A = this chain, B = another copy of it.
Amino acid sequence: MNFGSDNQAGACEQVMKAVVAANAGNAHGYGTDPWSERATALLRQTFECDLEAFFVPTGTAANSLSLSCLAQPWEVLLCHNHAHVLNDEATAPEFFTGGARLIGISGRDSKLKPSHLEDYFKFAGKEYPHNSRATVLSITQASEDGLVYTPDEVATLSATARSHQLKVQMDGARFANAVAALGCAPADVSWRAGVDVLCLGATKNGALAAEVVLFFDKRLAGQFVHRRKRAGHLLSKSRFIGAQMEAWLTDGLWLKLATHANDCAATLAKGLASISGVRITQPTEANEVFVLLQKKTVDRLRAAGAEFYEWPIVSLPPEFTLMESEVYIRLVTSFLTTQDQIEKFCSLARGR
C-alpha cells in the first residue's frame, strides 16, 4: 500500500527492457546516441511539431535549466504558491538562473488564474532597474494539488502572460497524468496553448530517471547545451536515458501508464469519499488524492503498513478548516498501484 509518491515505484517493464536492450555493445554518448535521436523523433511526432529536446536525469534539473534559459539573473519568475519549483527544489532555480527571483502569486487559490498575473502587475514596481521585472510564468501541470489545467486555462494564462511579455514554462513532472486526464492532444495543452518550454517528466510515471526539456520556441534553446553540461547533467552513457524515453513514448505507453495511475486515484477517492469522517479536499483530476483523515485512521493505516505523506496545511483550500482530530494527507497512485492495494487501504480507512 504505497501511496507515498509515484517516484517510489520503480520502472515499468517496457522501460526496463529497453534499458537492458540498449546495453548491447558500444555506443557514442553525450546525447549523440541513436536511442536519444529516436526518442527525439518520437517527441516531435507526439507533439506534432519541430521542437528541440534535451534529456536530463532529474526534474529539478529540467525545471531549473529551462527556467535559466528564460530569465536573466535580475528578473522575476512567477508561479503558484504551492509550485514544486518554489517549495521543493531547495533554491535550485536561483542557483541555475544566477539569482533570479521566484514569486508565488496565487494566494490561497488552488490554481493559477489570469487575475493572479493581473494583480501582480498592478502592484509590482516598475522603476527599473531598482525593481525587478517579471519575465517568466511557470505553470505546474498537473499541479502540486493534483489539479489539471485545461487547454483553455493554459491558453488563457499564457495569453495573459504574453500580454505582459512573459515567457511560459511548464513543469510537466506529471504532464502525462494531465494529458491522460484531459484526453487531448499533448500539443493542445502545451505549445498550442502558448507554452514556450515544457519539462516533460517520465521518472514519476514509469522510468528510472528520465526527463526531457522541450523547446517549442527553438530560439530560446541556444544556451541549453552549455548550461546542461556545466551543471553536470549531460550523461556520458546517454543511450540509457534515450532508451527509457523511447520506450516510454512508443505506442502511447506513457499515456497508458498515466491513465492507470489516474484511474487508481479516482477509485481511491471514490472509496474514501464514502467513508464518514473523511474529507476529500481537492477534486481528483490526476493521480493524487488530497484528504483530511482522522488521526486514529492515519495511525491504523500506518500500523498496517500503508505509506503516504502528511501534506502542508498551507495547501489546504480556504473553504476547509483543519479540525484538531484531523491530519492532512496526500495519496499518490502510480502505474504500479493495484486494485487490491486500494481496496485494502479503503477498508482500513473505513475501520475494518
The answer to whether A240 touches B209, judged by C-beta atoms less than 8 angstroms apart, is yes
The answer to whether A26 touches B307, judged by C-beta atoms less than 8 angstroms apart, is yes
The answer to whether B20 touches A16, judged by C-beta atoms less than 8 angstroms apart, is yes
Q: Which listed residue, B4, B231, B237, touches A203 by the CB 8 Å rule? A: B237
The stretch that binds B, out of A40-48, A55-63, A151-159, is A55-63
Count, chain A residues at interface, CB 8 A: 83
Shortest CB distance A274–B (Å) = 26
List CB contacts (< 8 Å) of A96-129 with chain B: 96-102, 122-123, 125, 127-129
Shortest CB distance A167–B (Å) = 17
List CB contacts (< 8 Å) of A1-56 with chain B: 2, 4-5, 7-11, 16, 19-20, 22-30, 56
A252 contacts partner chain B, Cβ-Cβ < 8 Å: no
Q: A29-B7, A101-B102 are in contact. Are A226 and B20 (CB under 8 A)?
A: no
Which residues from chain B contact A204 at a C-beta distance below 8 Å? 236
Nearest B residue to A230 via CB reads B90
Instruction: State the CA gap A189–B47 with chains docked (Å).
Output: 52
The answer to whether B92 touches A129, judged by C-beta atoms less than 8 angstroms apart, is no
Instruction: State the CA gap A209–B24 with chains docked (Å).
Output: 16
The answer to whether A10 touches B24, judged by C-beta atoms less than 8 angstroms apart, is yes
The answer to whether B123 touches A226, judged by C-beta atoms less than 8 angstroms apart, is no
Which residues from chain B contact A127 at a C-beta distance below 8 Å? 88
Which residues from chain B contact A72 at a C-beta distance below 8 Å? 223, 226
Which residues from chain B contact A99 at a C-beta distance below 8 Å? 91, 94-95, 97-99, 230
The answer to whether A91 touches B64, judged by C-beta atoms less than 8 angstroms apart, is no
Instruction: State the CA gap A229–B92 with chains docked (Å).
Output: 8
Instruction: State the CA gap A280–B76 with chains docked (Å).
Output: 32
Contact with B along A298-315 (1 / 0, CB 8 A): 000000000100001110
The answer to whether A28 touches B4, judged by C-beta atoms less than 8 angstroms apart, is yes
Q: Which listed residue, B7, B27, B92, B336, touches A237 by the CB 8 Å rule? A: B7
A235 contacts partner chain B, Cβ-Cβ < 8 Å: yes
Nearest B residue to A13 via CB reads B23
Instruction: State the CA gap A256–B307 with chains docked (Å).
Output: 40
Which residues from chain B contact A90 at a C-beta distance below 8 Å? 74, 129-132, 226, 229-230
Shortest CB distance A261–B (Å) = 13
Contact with B along A225-255 (1 / 0, CB 8 A): 1111111111111011000000000000000
Q: Which listed residue, B11, B24, B73, B228, touches A23 by the CB 8 Å rule? A: B11
A179 contacts partner chain B, Cβ-Cβ < 8 Å: no
List CB contacts (< 8 Å) of A200-232 with chain B: 203-204, 208-209, 223, 225-232
A87 contacts partner chain B, Cβ-Cβ < 8 Å: yes
Q: Which listed residue, B10, B125, B128, B235, touches A22 by the CB 8 Å rule? A: B10
Q: A74-B90, A95-B99, A123-B314 are in contact. Are A232 and B61 (CB under 8 A)?
A: yes
Instruction: State the CA gap A74–B60 with chains docked (Å).
Output: 14
Which residues from chain B contact A62 at a C-beta distance below 8 Å? 232
Instruction: State the CA gap A61–B72 with chains docked (Å).
Output: 19
Q: List 17 A-B contacts (CB under 8 A).
A: A4-B26, A7-B29, A8-B27, A8-B28, A16-B20, A57-B57, A60-B229, A62-B232, A72-B226, A88-B131, A91-B101, A101-B102, A122-B313, A123-B314, A203-B236, A209-B237, A231-B231
Closest 7 A/B residue pairs (Cβ): A94-B99, A61-B232, A60-B232, A90-B230, A129-B229, A7-B236, A2-B26
